[in-house]
């Protein structure tokens, strides 16, 4: 009798080969076509979709959101990235500042950080008490269940970056004049507290990774692979079809008639290239 070979689990300690830019752009172009189809389906069916992106500083949330939204309509795919709460907002019920941004029919709202700030940065940096953080983790599963019962499709993504890659990316922000705006004093403080954030993340998953609103984790050391993997997964979570539409043909342009080009001193932008 021959012995059955046991398949080995992939070795995650060995970094895989980085995705080449040409391959990435080719695959992303295909996925952009599918995202447009999804957009039209969301409008056609009046769906309400809410997508949450969380992760450490430098995990790649912004780049992923940009990859998702760069070829679709901002009227349908709305990105919400709230600033620090005002004194008035601090006095409100915690979720109150997020609820006005929830999707209406025919919209997909993407949160670049969300109500989960309370479970992460607020807890680690002392912007809320331990009792407030604990209470948040107790009530948020029911809050999200209410979202689903109202007809919202909720997807939650956590981007997982290694400490080595996070260091590389934050150092790049310091050295690159195009990226320095991405680096805040809070980023530096959070960088020094890696394991406090790990504990907060673990507690958040334990309390809020529910059957009705699970967390999906994407490894993001290779940003290009992470973006493609997340977009493919997002598309798989919302069944959609091609929306029937008439074939588009440009109409004939009217004749100039008596119109004459104006003799006006237009202030043209200097053509330096």
Structural domains of the chain, ranges and CATH numbers in brackets: 21-162+197-237 (3.40.50.300)
Dihedrals φ, ψ of 216, to 5°? -110, 125
With CA atoms as reference, report the closest residue to 58 among 186, 227, 180, 187: 187
Better-predicted residue by pLDDT, 178 or 160: 160
pLDDT band at 16 (very low <50, low <70, confident <90, very high): low
Pairwise CA distance, residues 231 & 226, whole Å: 9
Average pLDDT over residues 237-241: 97
Better-predicted residue by pLDDT, 35 or 186: 35
Pairwise CA distance, residues 215 & 208, whole Å: 8
pLDDT band at 182 (very low <50, low <70, confident <90, very high): confident
Q: How high is the pLDDT of residue 102?
A: 98
Q: Which of 74-83, 141-150, 182-191, 194-203 has the lowest mean pLDDT?
A: 182-191
Question: Rounded to two decimals, what is the model's pTM?
Answer: 0.89
Q: How high is the pLDDT of residue 21?
A: 94
Pairwise CA distance, residues 95 & 118, whole Å: 10
Q: What order of strands is seen across the sheet that includes strand 48-55?
A: 77-80, 107-112, 48-55, 152-160, 215-219
Q: Is the pLDDT of residue 64 over 90?
A: yes
Pairwise CA distance, residues 115 & 84, whole Å: 12
With CA atoms as reference, report the closest residue to 110 among 147, 148, 156: 156
pLDDT band at 179 (very low <50, low <70, confident <90, very high): confident
Pairwise CA distance, residues 192 & 57, whole Å: 11
Q: Is the pLDDT of residue 60 over 60?
A: yes
Pairwise CA distance, residues 105 & 254, whole Å: 38
Q: How high is the pLDDT of residue 75?
A: 96
Using the 8-state DSSP alphabet, how is residue 251 labeled?
A: P
Q: How far is CA 117 from CA 120, 126, 185, 266, in A?
A: 5, 12, 17, 50
> Can you give the length of the chain in residues?
273
Q: Is the pLDDT of residue 124 over 50?
A: yes
State what percent of residues in the chain have pLDDT above 90.
Answer: 84
Q: Mean pLDDT in the chain?
A: 92
Q: How high is the pLDDT of residue 219?
A: 97
Pairwise CA distance, residues 209 & 193, whole Å: 23
């Amino acid at each position: 009798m021959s012995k059955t070979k046991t398949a080995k689990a992939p070795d995650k300690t060995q970094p895989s080969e980085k995705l080449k830019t040409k391959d990435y752009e080719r695959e992303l172009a295909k996925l952009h076509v599918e995202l447009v189809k999804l957009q039209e389906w969301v409008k056609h069916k009046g769906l309400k979709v809410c997508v949450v992106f969380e992760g450490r500083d430098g995990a790649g949330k912004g780049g992923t959101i940009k990859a998702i939204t760069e070829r679709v309509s901002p009227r349908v795919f709305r990105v919400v990235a709230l600033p620090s709460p005002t004194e008035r907002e601090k006095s409100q019920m915690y979720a109150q500042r997020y609820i006005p941004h929830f999707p209406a029919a025919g919209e997909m709202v993407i949160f670049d950080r969300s109500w989960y700030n309370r479970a992460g940065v607020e807890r680690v940096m002392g912007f809320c008490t331990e009792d407030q953080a604990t209470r948040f983790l107790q009530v948020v599963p029911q809050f999200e269940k209410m979202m689903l019962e109202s007809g919202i499709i909720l997807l939650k993504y956590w981007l997982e970056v290694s400490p080595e890659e996070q260091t590389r990316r934050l150092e790049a922000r310091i050295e690159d004049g195009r990226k320095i705006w991405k680096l805040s004093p809070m980023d530096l403080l959070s960088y020094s507290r890696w394991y406090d954030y790990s504990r907060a993340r673990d507690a958040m998953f334990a309390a809020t990774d529910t059957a009705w609103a699970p967390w999906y984790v994407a490894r993001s050391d290779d940003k290009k692979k992470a973006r493609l993997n997340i977009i493919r997964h997002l598309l798989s979570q919302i069944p959609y079809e091609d929306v029937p539409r008439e074939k588009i043909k440009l109409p004939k342009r009217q004749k100039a008639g008596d119109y004459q080009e104006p003799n006006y001193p237009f202030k043209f932008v200097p053509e330096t290239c």
